[in-house]
Structure 1
Amino acid sequence: ALVEGVVNSTKRLHRIFNNILDVSRVMANGVKVHRTQVNLFVIMDGVYREFREALEQRNLTLTYDSLRGLPPYPGDPDLLYKVFYHLVNNAIKYTPDGGSITVTGRVVETPDLGRCVEVAVEDTGIGIAPQDLDLIFEKFYRTGEVAFHSSGTFKFKGGGPGLGLAITKGMVELHGGRIWAESPGYDEETCPGSRFVVQLPFEDEEDGEETEDETAE
């Protein structure tokens, strides 16, 4: 148990270090977008596989079948993986044991961004207070108190430096897109849930960005 605890702590510190590096790179405009045709279902499937043990421990369900029908998106597979990794990670943290996380996707026409792929991550968690809906995308910001009431090693409301959503926002904006959060409010008893929406425009390939023909799988 002691060895396992040391290993988990080491992994946790490694993730925090990488997150700090990601934030620093985004702030310094040091992230290069390498575009290719990305299958978003494959990206999310990889995220699911990474979190499968945590989901099982917490008796959480993650569904993302609707992403199968999306057309390939011209984006950076590594950056998009981080976007959905952090969104699912956030949903797991703030959804009590036995809850559900649903990822849906569709293509939409917007007046300002044009044709976009829109992916929403919705959970049955504790929700977000109205005054926090914009603040949660700021660095080092977390909602509520960090409490540990879960049977799994991946804790409900588990701690962290509060960088994941800031990284997500930065990676989305590097693709010319936007992200926002929706929630009826914050309540640990009734769990009103929250919904994070990402819109990524198809027509945002700027000069100087590398574009490849193959589809990332």
Structure 2
Amino acid sequence: MSNESARILYIEDDLASRRLIERVLTSRGYEVYVASEGLEGINLARDKNPELILMDINLPNMDGREITTRLRSLPNFSSVPIVALTANISPGSRELALAAGCTGFMTKPIDVATFPYDVQRFLQGASDQLSADERSQHLELHAQNLVERLENKVRELRSANKRLMELDSLKSDFIVLVSHELRTPLTLISGYSHLLAEQVNSNNEVIQAQSVVGIAEGLQSGVTRMQEVINEIISVVRISSGTLDLSLGPVRLAKVIGNVQETFKTVCEKRSVDLVVGDFSEMPLLQGDGRRLEAAIEHVIGNAVKYTPDGGQISLTGTKVKDKAVDIIIQDTGIGIPMDEQRRIFEQFYTLGAIEHHSTSKSAFQGGGLGLGLAIAKGIIEAHKGRIWVESEKRDAETLPGSTFHILLPIQPGKTPPMI
């Protein structure tokens, strides 16, 4: 086989460079294969058995020297010419490449006129040489680099494994929480259905209307609770898949906040929690989905209610930021949030504290829930190009340091709000 029809593999992450080399060499009759990263290149080399490999040095995941060392360990590539083709001309780069097993070293940008002749030369057996001292010195340096990269990879794997274990734990906790959250309304529905059946099958010819109303209310309570659980799961799935639809229109925050206040009025009165709402009447009109923004604020207020003890206070205020955004501030006198968990509370299925203490009531102090509320709030707010974060000194059920949530929403649609 003549060199002009030789198989050449080029491993390069830059698309423009791949196309240029491929066109130059293909026009000279070479059979050219290209790969954009190391593992793809190694697999392609095994499959195509190239007679020459051109290798960029600065590649993602595995650099060119590591790929060369790996290829040299394979029987079919112990003598195949591997030539570094790189823009890296820093001191020692050539020596490191040759010590790692490269046959030659060429720099980019290439000279289109002379490049094919350089390729032909390496195909015919040419090679760049290092002195014994240079090879020994740079081989040791290459080994140190490999060990350092290996240590970094081990750290990354440990971190990834830790995260996988956390996710597995979250998944298990979520299954327990869903089971608990669904069992509660199912128990209500089952109990009231049984009660209704007893009423129907009783000897009384006339069933008291008050009794029927009570049973109907109990059944409705159970169905509503189930709907809430299912809607939360559907919302978080839509947010995760990027299919959350927004019905955009003018939003009056005063109306949205008024609805939220009415939603929590009974719960706060029952637990003697003082819900203090500021004046939102002067807040500018926002462009957004009022229903979903209301749901997002409800989730944050619900979280504040859950972690604020009876007799505490929750305040809801708003302020304009540089005439570009509105900052909705929810501040509570609750148990607070640890510094290292203030980002994680917005993750799906994350629940602050042990699920063993999970209670039936979602509005009770440290009550139940699926751990989806804040994740849903974050998804809705980010869909509006807004941001949400929390500030808290620590978590302490004795001193009650409290938490302050910020919801920053742009006044103009599609505009990212300023940093504050």
TM-score by length of 2: 0.45
**Aligned partners of 1:189 and 1:9: how far apart in 2?**
35
Please state whether the residue corresponding to 2:319 is helix, strand or coil.
strand
Greater relative contact order (CA < 8 Å, ≥ 6 in sequence): 1
Q: Which of 128, 141, 144 pairs up with 2:350?
A: 141
Counterpart in 1 of 2:258? 45
Query: In the TM superposition, what is the alpha-carbon distance from 1:148 to its structure 2 partner?
Result: 7.3
Query: In the TM superposition, what is the alpha-carbon distance from 1:16 to its structure 2 partner?
Result: 1.3
**Aligned partners of 1:191 and 1:165: how far apart in 2?**
21
Q: Within the alignment, does 1:62 sit opposite 2:271 as a pair? A: no
Q: Give the letter aligned to residue 300 of structure 2.
A: L
The worse-fitting range, judged by mean Cα deviation, of 70-79 and 29-38 is: 29-38
**Aligned partners of 2:352 and 2:284: how far apart in 1?**
35
Larger radius of gyration: 2
Counterpart in 1 of 2:406? 197
Counterpart in 2 of 1:178? 387
Mapping for residues 17-56 of structure 1, pairs under 5 Å: 17-56=230-269
Query: In the TM superposition, what is the alpha-carbon distance from 1:154 to its structure 2 partner?
Result: 3.1
Q: Give the letter aligned to residue 77 of structure 1.
A: G
Query: In the TM superposition, what is the alpha-carbon distance from 1:190 to its structure 2 partner?
Result: 1.1
The worse-fitting range, judged by mean Cα deviation, of 20-29 and 8-17 is: 8-17
Counterpart in 1 of 2:47? none
**Aligned partners of 2:393 and 2:362: how far apart in 1?**
29
**Aligned partners of 1:7 and 1:125: how far apart in 2?**
31
Q: Give the letter aligned to residue 289 of structure 2.
A: D
Counterpart in 2 of 1:214? none
Identify unmatched segments of 5+ residues in structure 2. Answer: 1-187, 193-216, 416-420
**Aligned partners of 1:124 and 1:5: how far apart in 2?**
33
Please state whether the residue corresponding to 1:78 is helix, strand or coil.
helix
Q: Give the letter aligned to residue 16 of structure 1.
A: V
Counterpart in 2 of 1:129? 338
Please state whether the residue corresponding to 2:335 is helix, strand or coil.
coil
- Select the structure that is richer in strand: 1
Query: In the TM superposition, what is the alpha-carbon distance from 1:142 to its structure 2 partner?
Result: 1.2
Q: Give the letter aligned to residue 395 of structure 2.
A: Y
Please state whether the residue corresponding to 1:69 is helix, strand or coil.
coil
Please state whether the residue corresponding to 2:275 is helix, strand or coil.
strand
Please state whether the residue corresponding to 1:101 is helix, strand or coil.
strand
**Aligned partners of 1:51 and 1:173: how far apart in 2?**
24
Paired residues of 1:54 and 1:153 also in contact (CA < 8 A): no
**Aligned partners of 1:186 and 1:153: how far apart in 2?**
20
- Select the structure that is richer in helix: 2
TM-score by length of 1: 0.84
The worse-fitting range, judged by mean Cα deviation, of 17-26 and 137-146 is: 137-146
**Aligned partners of 1:86 and 1:119: how far apart in 2?**
13
**Aligned partners of 1:143 and 1:131: how far apart in 2?**
11
Counterpart in 2 of 1:210? none
Q: Give the letter aligned to residue 227 of structure 2.
A: H
Q: How many residues align?
A: 200
> What is the identity percentage for the equivalent residue pairs of Structure 1 and Structure 2?
37
Query: In the TM superposition, what is the alpha-carbon distance from 1:65 to its structure 2 partner?
Result: 2.3
Q: Give the letter aligned to residue 204 of structure 1.
A: P
Q: Which of 310, 330, 355 pairs up with 1:97?
A: 310
Q: Which of 285, 289, 294 pairs up with 1:76?
A: 289
Query: In the TM superposition, what is the alpha-carbon distance from 1:153 to its structure 2 partner?
Result: 8.2
Deviations 1:138-195 (A, max 9, x none): 011111235479xx98311111110000000000000001100100100011111001
Identify unmatched segments of 5+ residues in structure 1. Answer: 207-217
Query: In the TM superposition, what is the alpha-carbon distance from 1:69 to its structure 2 partner?
Result: 2.1
Deviations 1:65-114 (A, max 9, x none): 232221111111011011111011111100000111101101103xxxx8
**Aligned partners of 1:166 and 1:17: how far apart in 2?**
15
**Aligned partners of 1:13 and 1:129: how far apart in 2?**
31
**Aligned partners of 2:331 and 2:269: how far apart in 1?**
18
